[in-house]
Structure 1
Amino acid sequence: MTAFSLNPEQIAWRTELRALAAERLRPLAEKGEPGRVNRPLVAALGELGLLDGLFGTGEGPAGDGPARGGALGLCLLRESLAHACTEAETALALQGLGAHPVAEYGSAAQRERWLTPARAGRAVAAFALSEPGAGSDAAALALRASRDGTSSWRLTGEKCWISNAPEADFYTVFARTTLDAGARGVTAFLVPADRAGLSGTPLDMLSPHPIGALAFDGVRVTTDDLLGEPDRGFRVAMTTLNRFRPSVGAFAVGMASAALDATLAHTAQRDAFGGKLSDLQAVSHQVAEMAMRTEAARLMVYAAAAAYDRGEPDVARRAAMAKLLATETAQFVVDAAVQLHGACALRRGHLLEHLYREVRAPRIYEGASEVQRGIIAKDLYAGAAADG
């Protein structure tokens, strides 16, 4: 079944990506330690050229081209990897979040020093936006950047729920440079992990990928560390999130597709009540519902990505709709798959046990479902008022 009229080249690339993930990346993922950065896996993503697809300027398998570039290509990449190896997909996405601000707003020196090794998988990136008191409300950031002379600041405060922390090599950090200015008083900085005064601790989370907290004790940053302009960092954050939100939906669709495929195989083979599980109308109708919702989510994700690539004005709303529908759908599909598999799906190491833990977090990170609904409603009312 195709999605959003994928052309033959894109379909072939999806098949290639699934094979790469299963044959080259999954073995590396299985050797990794839950909750830790898997550097061999990140390096393999770089060696295969897959990290190039995060920035749309590479020449590897995920580089530019009519089938593979832009947000649409990124969605296809993330969905395909997620179907076969969620760890590989997550490692790739975290590189994108952490390094995209450098690609988009960094200086030539910053890109040479950090973006080049990040794209090659030799340096691990992280996106440090959330704080203990500022998760969904990103404009409420409290990490303070106090002036220290005319060309430097001191960062003081905390970040929390930061993927790849505390093991990343560099962080895109958002700090408050102007008090009582809301979103307009935030600045983005590139902070190397070895900067004096920066420390971190890992957090033990439900999801198996690395997440930690960071503490900034007077960490010095200068104008050379700026990403974009002072007090314009919120734009850096939102540009990055708008770029990746549709592809979070693609990650969710990939997980839903994997759960659906597993359910089709299981229910067609499992003997029950004198026949196969799939012979029961309650089961077959549930599977049909799972397939319908997965395809609807896929179509919305790809439509949002295509709108982003065309530069349409309603990208924020469409990205929010795509992330919301896809992540909520994936939760439903994976849960239904567990129910139809029964107790075997609850056993540690089962695909669905793994997906059940993975699928919960995307409804929270990069804007919780409630935040997405707020974005959608605000845009709809603004449009209605303009048409008024």
Structure 2
Amino acid sequence: MMDRSFLSWPFFDDVHRRLADEVERWATENTGHIDHENVDDACLNLVAGLGAAGLLQHTAVDPAAGGRLDVRSLCIIRETLARHDGLADFAFAMQGLGTGALSLFGTDAQKREWLTRTRAGKALSAFALSEPQSGSDVANLELSAVRDGDSFVLNGEKTWISNGGIADVYTVFARTGEGDGAKGISAFIVPADTPGLIIAERLEVIAPHPLARLVFDNCRIPASALIGSPGQGFRIAMSVLDVFRSTVAAAALGFARRALEESVKRANGRHLFGAPMSELQMVQGHIADMALDIDAAALLVYRAAWLKDSGAERVSREAAMAKLYATDRAQSVIDKAVQIHGGDGVRKGSVVERLYREIRALRIYEGASDVQKIIIARHELARG
């Protein structure tokens, strides 16, 4: 049984502890038979189920509940879902990331049209930021949005777009030219059925998720599709990532907790050289390192989430630390789990083999580990 003592930490309120129990029950009942060979249908079904359970209410700002996202709740949900199944975590996460710009900067009309549907699990969302030449370097994006009367016309490409091909709505960042670099980017809502939006290619990765390359070919959208103000897109994107970057760390934490859980069961249940594997000092060393990395990561994750929920305008440094440490150490924890499992650890379909494939992408998306180091260093140098 997983150690849940961290929920007693002062980062959390009773509402978070109740939420953890609720998500645990849902995940136990609904993630045991996910079809990972058909990720499109699996994600559609997961989003519908999460919506019916009310868990997607946490993915978007509710004006009646104070008008903010509770990052600790998002992290608890992602950590719990990831511990049970990576695709369940993905399905939940994209409903938040995909509509994050709308939640934080959208008009009331935009929110009414889309957030009511995404929170209910009746529409899937996607966050279209990355391009072939501008992944980590967001300010260098090239997709253009040219004003034409009461419309904008989009031309260019996006790639590595999660939920690409199955999303009902895309939040798209494009260059509108108010200034150079980051100053000339705006954000838009683009429904999936908009003429000129083309799913050019479905992309396959080592841990199956719905991903696609998108092409915008004279894709015309109304001026009312603009999120926030012209030229505000870079700030919007960074504000969204400032919230959701901590949740990526939480998902990595969930993967790591599952790896430790499986490793403890393996060590206690397998005999080597006439004694339980758990009596081998090397195995004990691995278990100790895994537990240490997990607790240290959890402290960083929930510090960042707590700071954001406590009213900090930006937590870029703390979120970067959480994502960098939690994802890198989860990779190490899972590698140790594979080692403890031996041949079974690389057997296709085993829990730790699946975790081994799932964790690698988290060190890349929403800011690669190297980018997190740059963010942290720049904050420290600026303070100096």
**Range into which the TM-score falls when normalised by the shorter chain:** over 0.9
- How many angstroms does 1:244 deviate by? 0.4
Give per-residue Cα distances to partners, 1:112-168, cap 9 Å, x unaligned. 22111111001000000000000011111000112223x322100000000000221
User: What residue number does 2:210 align with?
Assistant: 210
Please tell me whether residue 49 in structure 1 is matched to residue 54 in structure 2: yes
Aligned to 1:234: 234
Is the counterpart of residue 109 in structure 1 residue 114 in structure 2? no
Aligned residues: 376
- Assess if the C-alpha contact under 8 Å between 2:43 and 2:88 holds in 1: no
What one-letter code is carried by the residue in structure 1 that aligns with 2:56?
Answer: L
SS at match of 1:349: coil
Are 2:232 and 1:258 equivalent residues in the alignment?
no
Does the aligned pair in 1 maintain the 2:203–2:211 contact within 8 Å? yes
Deviation at 1:85, TM superposition (A): 2.1
Residue identity in the other structure for 2:320: A
Q: How far apart, CA to CA, are the structure 1 residues paired with 2:303 and 2:94?
A: 23
Distance 1:249 1:95 in 2: 17
Partner residue in 2 for 1:82: 82
- Per-residue Cα deviation, 1:224-252 (whole angstroms, up to 9, x for no partner): 10111111111111111001011111000
Match of 1:14 in 2: 20
Paired with 2:340 and 2:231, the residues of 1 have a C-alpha distance of: 51
Measured in 2, the distance between the counterparts of 1:121 and 1:55 equals 12
User: Quick one: distance in 1 between partners of 2:114 and 2:42?
Assistant: 18
Displacement after TM superposition at 1:19 (Å): 2.5
Give 3-state SS (helix, strand or coil) of 1:178's partner: coil
- 2:38 is matched with 33
Distance 1:263 1:58, change over 3 A: farther
Q: Distance between the aligned counterparts of 1:57 and 1:205, measured in 2?
A: 34
User: Counterparts of 1:110-129 in structure 2 under 5 Å?
Assistant: 110-129=110-129
Q: Tell me which amino acid in the other structure corresponds to 1:217.
A: D
Offset at residue 12 of structure 1 (A): 4.8
Query: Can you give the 5+ residue segments of structure 2 that lack an aligned partner in the other structure?
Result: none
Deviation at 1:358, TM superposition (A): 0.6
Name the amino acid aligned to 2:321.
M
Three-state SS of the structure 2 residue aligned to 1:359 is helix
User: Distance between the aligned counterparts of 2:254 and 2:151, measured in 1?
Assistant: 44
Are 2:162 and 1:163 aligned? yes
Measured after TM superposition, the shift of residue 13 of structure 1 is 3.5
Query: In the TM superposition, what is the alpha-carbon distance from 1:210 to its structure 2 partner?
Result: 0.8
Name 2:70's counterpart in structure 1.
70
Q: In structure 1, the residue corresponding to 2:157 is in which secondary structure?
A: strand
Residues 227 and 8 (structure 1), Cα distance of their counterparts in 2 relative to 1, 3 Å cut: closer
Give the residue type in structure 1 aligned to 2:218: G
Q: Secondary structure at the match of 2:20?
A: helix
**8 Å contact kept, 1:195–1:219:** yes
Query: Is structure 2 residue 23 aligned with structure 1 residue 24?
Result: no
Over 3 Å counting, the alpha-carbon distance change for 1:25 and 1:283 in structure 2 is closer
Name the structure 2 match of 1:340.
340
CA RMSD of aligned residues (A): 2.0
- Structure 1 residue 35, shift from structure 2 partner: 6.0
Offset of residue 24 of structure 1: 2.0
Closer, same or farther: CA 11–105 of 1 in aligned 2, 3 Å: closer
Deviations 1:38-95 (A, max 9, x none): 2111100000011111225399xxxx69xx9711111111111111122111100011
CA distance in 1, matches of 2:18, 2:283: 32
What CA distance in whole angstroms lies between the structure 2 residues aligned with 1:232 and 1:69?
Answer: 20
How far is 1:102 from its partner? Answer: 1.4
Unaligned runs of at least 5 residues, structure 1: none
SS in 1 for 2:142: coil
In structure 2, the CA distance between the partners of 1:228 and 1:180, relative to structure 1 (3 Å rule), is closer
The aligned counterpart of 2:366 is: 366
Q: Which amino acid aligns with 1:228?
A: G
**TM-score normalised by L of structure 1:** 0.92
> 1:194 maps to which residue?
193
SS in 1 for 2:160: strand
1:37·1:164 contact (CA, 8 Å) conserved in 2? no
Give yes or no for contact 1:184–1:232 (8 Å, CA) kept in 2: yes
Q: What is the CA–CA distance in structure 2 between the aligned matches of 1:11 and 1:112, rounded to whole Å?
A: 30
